[in-house]
Chains A and B, each alone.
Chain A
Amino acid sequence: MAKTHVKMSVNGRAVEALAEPRMLLIHFLREELGLTGPHIGCETGHCGACTVDLDGRSVKSCNMFVAQADGASLTTIEGIRGEGGAMHVLQEMFREHHGLQCGYCTPGMITRAFRLLQENPSPTEEEVRFGMAGNLCRCTGYQNIVKAVMAAAASMQASQEAAE
């Protein structure tokens, strides 16, 4: 199949490649770029394991062709870092509050939470539950993920206030 030329920015790095136009974005990220953080859980857009951040929105990369991401700016879990390359506060809080078990949904969860907290820096528990309902977890029962996201929001708010 004829390949198409795609250019995008992934985790701050310029990427240029030839890809089959029908190739799914998740396959491009995982197999062409070796970014295996985002996972495939359903290929139907229900589970959110493949969530990445595209031009400031959370998207399910199993439901997009790579060709549709041409010109976009993407962040995957590999690009979510704290200051100086340390763990991001969300990553720390997921660990602190036992917000993960098998880890398979975790990159998608954190990537979604990363965007949620930019959309709404101090969400209520209900807003976290609603805002993350597109990401499924089979291990944790969500309770500790909610705690982790709320704790990260509080911590990020506190650092921002300290900076101001």
Chain B
Amino acid sequence: MTEQEKPESVEARAAKVQGVGCARKRVEDARFTQGKGNYVDDVKLPGMLFGDFVRSPYGHARVKSIDVSQALAHPGVKAVLTAKDLEPLSLHWMPTLAGDKQMVLADGKVLFQNQEVAFVVAEDRYAAADAVDLVMVEYEELPVVVDPFEAEKDGAPILREDIAENLDGAHGKRRHPNHIFTWTEGDAEKTHAAIEAAEVVAEELIHYPRTHPCPLETCGCVASMDKVNEHLTLYGTFQAPHVVRTVAALLSGIPEHKIRVISPDIGGGFGNKVGVYPGYICSIVASIVLGVPVKWIEDRMENLSTTAFARDYWMKGRIAATKDGRITALDAHVTADHGAFDACADPTKFPAGFFHICTGSYDIPVAHVQVDGVYTNKAPGGVAYRCSFRVTEAAYLIERMIDVLASKLGMDPVELRLKNFIRKEQFPYTSALGWEYDSGDYETAMRQAMEKVDYAALRREQAERLEAFKAGETRSLMGVGVSFFTEIVGAGPVKNCDILGIGMFDSCEIRVHPTGAAIARLGTISQGQGHATTFAQILATETGIPADRITVEEGDTDTAPYGLGTYGSRSTPVAGAATALAGRKIRAKAQMIAAYLLEVHDGDVQFEVDRFVVKGAPERFKTMSEIAFAAYNTPIPGIEPGLEAVSYYDPPNMTYPFGAYVCVLDIDVDTGVADIRRFYALDDCGTRINPMVIEGQVHGGLTEALAIAMGQEIKYDEGGNVIGASLMDFFLPTFWETPTWETDHTVTPSPHHPIGAKGVGESPNVGGVPAFSNAVIDAFRPFGVTHSQMPHDHWRVWSIAEGLGLHG
């Protein structure tokens, strides 16, 4: 029938298919804009109860007694769980992703403020909250350690009594009961020798403060145990639903095929929803015990103070160079504050994640890093807040150190970067710390950025402003901050990347229906990235089925193939590759079917947008719809009926997105207010699947970078009290503070990814933070300032000016 229709141009057909490169509007938006999303707190099951936690008011204390009798007597209360109730099930502690273990409920002591002590289950949220206040806990306060540099000193209180005698840690010998691990990479001897011999050495202690991903939706779950069928269904805010299923099976003893984990719509994740939290365990246990569904949803204060902080790295950097600015060595020593339990979410073999990407975009001959993890009386976590594992810390270190070195050399920071870039012809490039960078063209990107912002003009304006300031004509200083970051994302190759022993592959399964529409299921889970839109575009290009006729489904472990989830910008590099390859399997079978239908050899037909065409006879073709129908109704010798494919993709390497960012701001030295006048972001994420979605990701990531650099901090006082764990104090930029972002790009496809894509969601966070810092510090550079710790809030910026005597 199609052959009789008026032929459509290739371009017209390609536009209908909406494949890779198309700014396709999102299919998710109809439900979200009309209030028809389905988030975990929207799940309502018959007989469902609510759980709520009794939490520790102390940062470190012994729990002497817990009296639940009054709480149990409160109307509507069904159960109160304490560690004693969980102990017979061996669930009073749980393993962490980092090889440590964590208390589910306080077992004899508490180690951080707001730690989970008891779990109250009641008929509604209000009754549960009432009963939380009726649980009587007697504490004996213990001395607190909040400073990671104090943790290993003589006389420091021992935090983890459970492992005080066991100094064999998950990552080698521990040298102190409060020490977790020492991890090193690179050649210490050569690096230290190069620094000794160097003409110039710059040194700085750089703090990346403790912050929090703070997605707008907090963490939560609904556990529903069907006792008759011995089947557990767990709905939750999980960035890695399959991993949660495996962990739930291992911990609960329920066979894995009898557990179904569902991640419904997720209201932002940014790393916060990777880990397994006590609330999940307690809800499951309560549902098993009570035989009814149990919901647990944390409130904002619980979110900010207990589930998954990020960063908290104290980084001592030393960078060596020749007098004319050729970098000769980099040495970094990190004191990593992990809080009370090592619950970092990193691939097993990398206790400091991929921090050793810290040589950045530069050809540095020798380098060495050492990371020491320590316990303190703070909440556990250490997740990658919109970045690949510890990559944002690494990028911050190198991008700050380059500026510090530029100051010391009296060189322009852009000139110093250009002088030391890994050159285009050096790719694939093996860094001094062992990574193989797949591709890049840094100089082109940097020069494009400098041209677009007219860097020279900005520097002239800055110099004029400084003169005016010195002459008393203005109270404002101008700062220009540049960062050039290289990320490492897409974990990762199964040979060295795993979570709890499971390789970090990912997957896609496609079923093409008889009418030529299709459903694809992936092992990842969108939290706003728009996978249902963009993965359909990859498939549209690969199979010729229009994106509008492809449903993409994620997050149900009963239907989706096993995958490791969405974080660390891994969806496009790993699951996106699996999607392309599954699409190619469909196309390969479709080619055989088309050839049979057209009565030619397989090699005599070629794929063209949405059909297979006989070579040299373009009027003879079969569309994908016709082929799909034939797959279900035409017996073809040697070919099974149906049109389905599954692909599990083990990436051969990581991908290495990069970019050049420029921040221009004006600082009022009398108030410390930094007015961000301009922010330009050039990103190279390889092949661009959906430019609209990419730009949206960049806008959002830059806004998070603004928040981190200029105001966010999860702070503790000396008594171990968490300060500012609410939106009153924790800085989330509003419409008002957020500038308008300028985006730009270059395209350097990844040579090993099936469609050349690299991932983009996290680049703006990784590259944005140092650009803001460099701009703030650059404003004070003429006065000899080389560094100032984040966040650059008004008080801190004012303090720089005050310290310099600029207030007269």
Contact = CB atoms under 8 A, between A and B. Distances in A.
A76 interface: yes
A20 B528 CA distance: 35
Interface string A15-38: 000001011000100110011111
A154 interface: no
Nearest to A92: B33
A102 B703 contact: no
Interface in B11-32: 25-26, 28-32
Contacts of B266: 102
B35 A37 contact: yes
Given A129-B735, A132-B735, A141-B741, A101 B528 contact: yes
Interface in B189-239: 214-218
Interface string B93-133: 00000000000000000000000000000000110000000
B529 interface: yes
Contacts of B32: 100, 103, 106-107
Contacts of A140: 696, 699-700, 703
Given A96-B25, A132-B735, A104 B217 contact: yes
A72 interface: no
A133 B29 contact: no
A141 B702 CA distance: 7
Interface string A87-110: 100110011101011111111001
B126 to A, nearest CB: 7
Contacts of A41: 216-218, 267, 300
B268 interface: yes
Contacts, number: 171
A103 B265 contact: yes
Interface of B: 25-26, 28-39, 41-42, 44, 125-126, 214-218, 265-268, 270, 297, 299-300, 527-530, 692-693, 695-697, 699-704, 726-728, 732, 734-736, 738, 740-741
Contacts of A144: 696, 699
Contact of B704 (A39, A43, A105, A138): A138
B543 to A, nearest CB: 25
A76 B34 CA distance: 10
A117 interface: no
B696 A98 contact: yes
Contacts of A43: 299-300
Interface of A: 1, 20, 22-23, 27, 30-31, 34-44, 46-47, 49, 76-78, 87, 90-91, 94-96, 98, 100-107, 110, 128-130, 132-146
A44 B692 contact: no
B268 A102 contact: yes
A120 B215 CA distance: 31
A31 B295 CA distance: 13
Contacts of A22: 126
A36 B702 contact: no
A42 B726 contact: yes
B33 A31 contact: no
A104 B125 CA distance: 21
A34 B41 CA distance: 11
A38 B216 contact: no
B727 A42 contact: yes
22 contacts: A39-B39, A41-B300, A44-B727, A46-B726, A46-B732, A77-B34, A77-B35, A78-B34, A90-B33, A95-B26, A101-B268, A103-B28, A103-B31, A104-B217, A130-B735, A136-B727, A138-B700, A138-B704, A139-B696, A139-B700, A140-B703, A142-B699
Pick from B125, B695, B699 the residue with the most CB of A within 10 Å: B699
B230 to A, nearest CB: 30
Pick from A37, A137, A141, A144 the residue with the most CB of B within 10 Å: A141
Contacts of A47: 216, 727, 732
B125 A27 contact: yes
Contacts of A39: 39, 41, 216-217, 267
